[in-house]
Structure 1
Amino acid sequence: MSQVVAITGASAGVGRAVARLFAERGARVALMARGEKGLAAAAEDVSERGGEPMTIGLDVSDAQAVVDAVNRIEERFGPIDVWVNAAFTGAFARLIDLTPQEFRRATEVTYLGYVHGTMAALKPMVQRNRGTIVQVGSALAYRGIPLQSAYCGAKHAIQGFTESLRCELLHDRSAVRVTMVQLPAVNTPQFSWLLSRLPKQAQPVPPIYQPEVAARAIVFAADHPQRREYWVGRSTMLTLLANKIAPGLLDRYLARTGFSGQQTDQPRDEDQPANLWHPADGEGAKDWGAHGIFDDRARDRAPEQWVSEHRRLLLGLAGTAAAAGAGAAAVLGRRPRRRTAG
């Protein structure tokens, strides 16, 4: 039987790239999102790459809709092997420029959407004592930046929620696994369809990576969920390490660079859609695909990802090399005893 994979936020961006990659392995892929145009195109992607698609239009902030989706997926495809939470929304704006309703909406989708997806998928997985849940995270799960307070808050919440769940599964000695993939800046359509109150066009903070880089890491994590989390990209590693060592200095650095660094030199399009309340790829809209508008600046490889994925191997080799070096030093350090004439 082929693998059964369910992906929220599958109509565009990272979720779309993940769906394509699982399809290349012949998986049966359940695609969940709000946008009709994006879902239909994502289903075509899956079919063209050898997978079997199923589309479910839903809003992940609706807990019952997510539960119903799990039931529909398992009725058609069978038990879900991998559940990927990737749906989100947000806003590019100062906190004082957002309304409480807008902040709440971003939190309900980006944070509670993950909670709803995890809870719905977890129940049948626990009963079968198998299955994997992958949380698509961000370096911003550890380090907040200006102009993205709702998104950063939600990603921090997902991090804490996932740690709590992991402890519960360990306590129960469950074979169900949950892992998290912390991503860098990715070239997705979000910079063209999120609510923005910035004067200029929003952009990811360089270095920028293509969604396929993120997708490869997520699929690897689904195959190796024993690791609690994966860091993708050099910028993610450096940001998280800097935040551990000197968070106050990082506050000041981001205060100086975080506003200009998240905007291009072009004015924001006044007609730019805002998918906070309604999908940007709904009826009559275009298919946004996986990539955003920064292809010319985005990297399609992250060498540091290999290091993250093979950390245990490298640590083992380093330990072996250190032991061999210590042994050699011990041997070389032995001086032969001089024979005295007698």
Structure 2
Amino acid sequence: MTDRAQALREAGRDIISLSVGEPDFATPPHVIEAAKQALDAGQTRYTPVTGTQRLKEAAALHFERDLGITTDPSRILVSAGGKQAIFEALCATVSAGDEVIVPLPWWVSYPQIIRYAGGTVVPLMTHPHHSYCFAPGDFEALITPRTQWLLLNSPGNPTGAVYSREMLLGIADVLRRHPQVMVMSDDIYAPLIYTGKPHHTLASLCPDLADRICTISGVSKSHAMTGFRIGVATGPDWLIEGMGRLQSNSTGNPSSISQAAAVAAFEGPQEFLGTWRERFLARRDRVVAAINAIPGLTTPVPDGAFYCFIDAQPLMERFKTDEALALHLLENGVAVVAASAFGGHSGFRISFAADDSALDEALHRIAGALA
């Protein structure tokens, strides 16, 4: 959808894109300065395959300060974005016939990576009236002897779902009864929570399960550094080693300049995040109110990230598919992503990581297109 929107722009059309999952804010100045200094210092050579020691130490600080996870730099892998770390963890462990339980709706790459590795995707259904969270009992009902992983994403893409402390403790009780199941905890959106409560992650709540949890984080969403392509992962020694072997024989080390910038991101000022959260929260409330005022559209209030996952079931008799609905909105000047891209149906996802005037105009166009 992003590519289609860009092509229409190049053809002279006025298109507002609410399809891309990246903050619209500028990368913090101290991060840009660190990248410049690295260039000026000639830091343009290979680094260790799994990241510099300097960045691993900064990432360890981040994991402890922001996620409550105490880890050693030796148990950290630096990758070219969080997606690469997820890919490596799954490809290092999943074989043909292995099952991976994934809450649905899911981020688009989860099922594709699992299938690439030869595994079987096991959907764990969630619903908007439960804020797209699931009951631990529903998770346990899907476990079989072939279950290898549970994938968690909180705050979630595309729904903005945030898993509570109580929910995570319930999941932990299930995991203790099924020792073969590992957990991928994708916490990339952790800084963007609007509940007023602290972020909770499984590895911090349940250190007895730490040798079965791989936690993914990074700087893309928290510091508006999507183009820098830096992710970080921590987990048991054997898994981090296996992920490193895959990285060594595929891409090699992440960008040296991006690693220097990520050190500044993790170790530098964090106060700007409070301002960003406030602005995202105001945008969220504006978008939710506007969407729920459009006949045929409804959305729950997302507790985190910067997405609304919108239900358009009453409009399906008119449009037949969510892809057709998304293309209709594109023809009316707004790029969104059809729900089917996330394993859903009868709706679409929008990102409210756009400036206020663009958001207001996009919402006006959506209302007009569906009137």
Fold-level similarity (TM above 0.5):
no
TM-score range, shorter chain: 0.3 to 0.5
The structure with higher relative contact order (CA 8 Å, sep 6+) is 2
> What TM-score comes out, normalization by structure 2 length?
0.38
Indicate the structure (1 or 2) with the bigger Cα radius of gyration.
Answer: 1
